[in-house]
A = this chain, B = another copy of it.
Amino acid sequence: MGKLPDKYKEFSAWYDSVIEGADIIDKRYPLKGMIVWKPYGFKALKLTMRILEELLEAYGHEEAYFPMLVPEEVFSKEKDFLEGFSGETFVVERTISKKLTRKLLLRPTSETVMYYMFSIWITSYRDLPVKLYQTVNVFRYETEQTKPIIRVREIVRFNEAHTVHRSLEEADRQIEEAIEIYSKFFDTLLIPYIILRTPKWDTFAGAEYNYDFFTIMPDRKAIELGSVINLGQKFAKAFDIKFQDQDGKWKYVYQTCYGVSERVVGVLLSIHGDSRGLIWPPSVAPIQIVIVPIPSETMYNDILSKAKKIEERLKTAGYRVKLDDRPDLTPGSKYFWWEFRGVPLRIEIGEKEVKEGKVTIARRDLMKRVVAKDEELEETIERLFREISEELYRRAKEWFYSNIIMAESIEEAAKKYNDVGGGIIKLPWCGEDQCGLAIEEKIGLEGLGYNPKEKARGKCVVCGKEAKYYFYVGKKY
């Protein structure tokens, strides 16, 4: 393993080197956009998704499982949805040796699958609200350039929540709740974000409106982290999901859905990594602590025995810990190995540590060592985990906020975007579609959306009227 490419100047090269070199994934599987998750990476993916699942359950969602294949007639019920997904949805028409009588589609997302069942399950206001989620593989034939973990054709872990409500107000409140859940989730992963309402012309197929969470990658492109969608009654009408209300009348339900995928793992690796490789936030590190015994001619038995005791002690305490006792590697090459793989803390145990009843602990983020007494080990680890998280978050925020740039005119926006070499640009906007579309076209960037709660100042950069919002633009993954 030579020197890594520069994360900021050659992001793609850096990304490919670390995710493959550090055993996160293998992209040599012979299908474009479909990758193998190796044990080290997959463990982090599961830990990451578990944080989200626990949050969803704490907010009253239950986990279910709905089939992966969708009969064509079910998939086609909502026309905007059908049109939005027809290019990227895989179709099964046969087995190797037999033709089927119906077309079956591979879910690109599960609205149609679930809502068919909701129309059976829901008959009374007593059945509401429904708050379900599932974490499943979904399939999208992406025609744009694929990128491992970030833009794939098999999304290996799509966490999609779907809720059903009695009133528009309740659905709106659910959107707020979903935003709260996702905010806590990305906060835990130490990923800074902005939450933007998608402009009307880009709204999710079949939705009333939706919000996206965006962050900024090391190449200064914006990336969508998660989506929160108010479906209104569009699917309710397409799937005939009705309930009898307390007043005896039959009414269509209101629905929301929101989703996050393994992409967040690709993003957090990109944001927190550095010139030496990955850095995991302690909360999702597949290995949180590695223990390296330092060779000694006279004391190696004592050293190894202390290392094993500490391994056992930390495992019992619930840490994900690994003792690296490979005999054929020097401590230096072990340090390098685990630094590259992003393990947040390393414990070194040598003669001195045995004699003095201490351990040396090295932080991955600052590449600095501290010494702790044996009896203070757990509290020191807890403190260091907290400090590492704070440091990673501080760095991530610094990067993020320095790449959100205000501009008062199209020209200023274009110039600043070029000077900085990317980022997210915000411009005063009157809120009208034609002006938003004009901004996109004139700057040659994509519209990411606007924050309805953010007060705007200045004049719309297209029509010159009083600005209602800031319109956010950038290049998107």
Q: Contacting A105 at CB < 8 Å: which of B45, B88, B96?
A: B96
| Given the contacts A30-B116, A65-B156, A92-B90, A98 and B141 also touching, CB distance less than 8 Å | yes
Which residues on the B side are within 8 Å of A104 (C-beta)? Answer: 31, 90
- State the oligomeric state as a number of copies: 2
B67, A39: Cβ atoms under 8 Å? Answer: no
A29, closest chain B residue (CB):
B67
From residue A124, how far is it (CB to closest CB) to chain B in Å?
13
Which residues on the B side are within 8 Å of A91 (C-beta)? Answer: 92-96
A34, A71, A100: which has the most chain B beta carbons within 10 Å?
A34
Which residues on the B side are within 8 Å of A62 (C-beta)? Answer: 39
Which residues on the B side are within 8 Å of A42 (C-beta)? Answer: 63-65
| Given the contacts A98-B141, A137-B137, A67 and B117 also touching, CB distance less than 8 Å | no
Measured in the bound complex, the distance between the Cα atoms of B170 and A199 in whole Å is 61
Inter-chain pairs besides A39-B62, A87-B95, A95-B141, 14 sampled, C-beta below 8 Å: A28-B120, A29-B66, A30-B71, A30-B116, A31-B71, A31-B104, A39-B63, A68-B137, A87-B97, A89-B96, A90-B92, A90-B95, A90-B104, A96-B105
* A and B contact pairs by CB, cutoff 8 A, 22 listed: A26-B117, A28-B120, A29-B67, A29-B113, A29-B116, A30-B116, A31-B69, A34-B69, A35-B67, A36-B64, A36-B65, A37-B64, A37-B66, A38-B64, A68-B139, A69-B139, A69-B154, A86-B96, A89-B95, A90-B94, A92-B106, A136-B137
Where the two chains meet, the residues of A that have a C-beta atom closer than 8 Å to any C-beta of B are 26, 28-31, 34-39, 42-43, 45-46, 62-69, 71, 74, 82, 85-98, 100, 104-106, 113, 116-117, 120-121, 132, 136-137, 139, 141, 154, 156
